[in-house]
Amino acid sequence: MTTTLIGAGFTDPIFQSQSAFRALLAALSEPGTQQVVTGGIVPPEGLHAATATALLTLADYETPIWLPPALRDGPAGAWLRFHCGAALVSEPGQAAFAVMDSGSVEPALSAFNPGTDQFPDRSTTIIVQCAALEGGEAVTLTGPGIAGSRLVEPAGLRPGFWAEVAANNGAYPLGVDLLLSHGDAVLGLPRSTRIGEAI
């Protein structure tokens, strides 16, 4: 019989979750800025530290999570079930939170829940795990929370990713919110952020 050991979560849940929440809020309110999300945890295999800390902070038994099958059926899925009590769903449209690898060709961002006219806040928040948050194709961001414009260049994104993000913004106020993660850092791309070519 094989036993999977589940790593520890927060040792000081109130302090650590509050600190992480402030960083995540800053990432989404100041799109394109890198924010360090620390929780003092060792993430399970397949999740970056920032991704695991964000889910530990935001998810609970009322927030279904979508993971790629390899993560859902492995240590990451077991870790999230144990620490968050969250249901892991197989359909992207059912998820309150989701984790994607930046290079995966599917699912499309449009497969996730964009919210409704009555409840746009019930959309999916997607954490996209990147090869790096610098060194990739550069694009400019404009919109709320950005003075003028801001340049970002996350690496390892799938072909057509920025076109998907632009289409997502075109559906505003509906649409998904994105957090791009690598290591212990994230940058936010809320649905209100507009995408342009680098100047």
> Which tens digits make up the pLDDT trace of 31-74?
999 999 987 788 999 999 999 999 999 999 999 999 999 999 99
Residues near 196 by beta carbon (within 8 Å), at least 6 away in sequence = 139, 140, 141, 142, 149
Please say if the pLDDT value at position 199 is more than 70.
no
Give CA separation, 79 vs 11, 39, 84, 104, in Å. 15, 15, 8, 22
CA-nearest of 110, 119, 88 to 161 is 110
The answer to whether domain 13-187 has CATH 3.40.190.10 is no
CA distance 16 to 30: 21
Bridge-partner residues for 27, per DSSP?
Answer: none
pTM of the model: 0.93
